Structure 1
Amino acid sequence: MLRCLFLSFLLLITTPLAAEPSIISAPDAFSASSAGEMILVDIRSPAEWVETGVAEGAIALTMHDPAFPKQISALLNANKDQPVALICATGGRTQYVVSFLAKNGFPDVIDVSEGMFGNARGPGWIARGLPLIAAKEAQAAYRSLLK
């Protein structure tokens, strides 16, 4: 029994931990996407986009669409040379999606962890007074990235 516990402990301390996902603040995401250095994707629902607008420079691609896995994969594969960051309302959905993507072959997706409305990691895009665009404009941006 003691030997089994020792082996379990040894396995635990020698097993590498998964890398922490990359995170970025809302102002840094705005700067990078405005400079064309990063693709920013708003994964919230269409109703949320209409209610608040979408982060300027972002494309609107809802995770609530059944086609989202195919769409995000196509976007990532078509833009392998450019970083991609995800933003949602408060960072919960992006944390989940970034983790899921990392486990499925896309380890370099970045999490705008404070989201649009903020949380303990930061006040959020809107409270920081960062610019917004209309949802239709952000949805059209997705289509242009795949051409």
Structure 2
Amino acid sequence: MAPMISMPVLRKLAVICLAVLVAALVLFITTAVVFAQPPKMSAIEAHSATLNGDLIILDIRSPGEWAETGVAKGAWPVTMHSPNFGPNLQSIIERYPNRSLALICATGGRSDHVATVLEQNGLSGVIDISEGMSGNGIAPGWISRNLPIVDVTVARGKHTASMLKKD
């Protein structure tokens, strides 16, 4: 006859098993979140890569933000708030398949979020310019680094007139 295990011992085993499962789940989720993070780049690195022709920067802020601060020289003003954001992004990727793509916003929050969502949906390697135009608590940003800025009309005229859908 098999030995009997008392109910208190079974409860302890169940609690221990549950705790191990919860810990494993937390570890799995944490690891998945860490690995799902998009690559990061500083404003200085992004500016240099743009000058070399290796990188396309999309400024995903709102038109009001572009008007207020200007747009990073070389960046394409392609607002994430437009219903045409997806088609415009696809058009750029198809036209420039050998260039890396980076996103910039005001402080790095939106660019990180959009790059992460794109990564989760199969578009890997989209770079987050994590300090943004205005900076954050970690880095000063494109503007404070005195990197070149152009008026939004100049940026729109140079990059987007012929290939992006109007909002």
Alpha-carbon separation, structure 1, partners of 2:49 and 2:58: 13
TM-score normalised by L of structure 2: 0.78
Cα shift at 1:81: 1.7
Q: Distance in 2 between matches of 1:7 and 1:116?
A: 43
What is the count of residue pairs matched by the alignment?
146
Q: Does 1:142 align with 2:160?
A: yes
Provide structure 2 residue ranges, at least 5 long, that are not aligned to the other structure: 1-13
Aligned residue in 1 for 2:48: 31
Deviation at 1:74, TM superposition (A): 2.6
* Percent identical residues: 42
Q: 1:142: how far off?
A: 3.0
Residue in 1 that maps onto 2:7 = none
Equivalent residue in structure 1 for 2:149, among 125, 132, 140: 132
* Structure 2 residue corresponding to 1:21, chosen from 20, 31, 38: 38
More helix by share: 2
In structure 1, runs of 5+ residues without a counterpart are none
The counterpart of 2:71, out of the listed 38, 54, 57, is 54
> Who wins on radius of gyration, i.e. which is larger?
2
For residue 118 of structure 2, give the secondary structure of its aligned residue in structure 1: helix
Q: How big is the shift at 1:87?
A: 0.5
CA-to-aligned-CA distance 1:85-105 (integer Å, 9 cap, x gap): 011111111011011110111
Report the RMSD for the aligned CA atoms in angstroms: 2.0
Measured in 2, the distance between the counterparts of 1:65 and 1:145 equals: 15
1:116 shift after superposition: 0.5
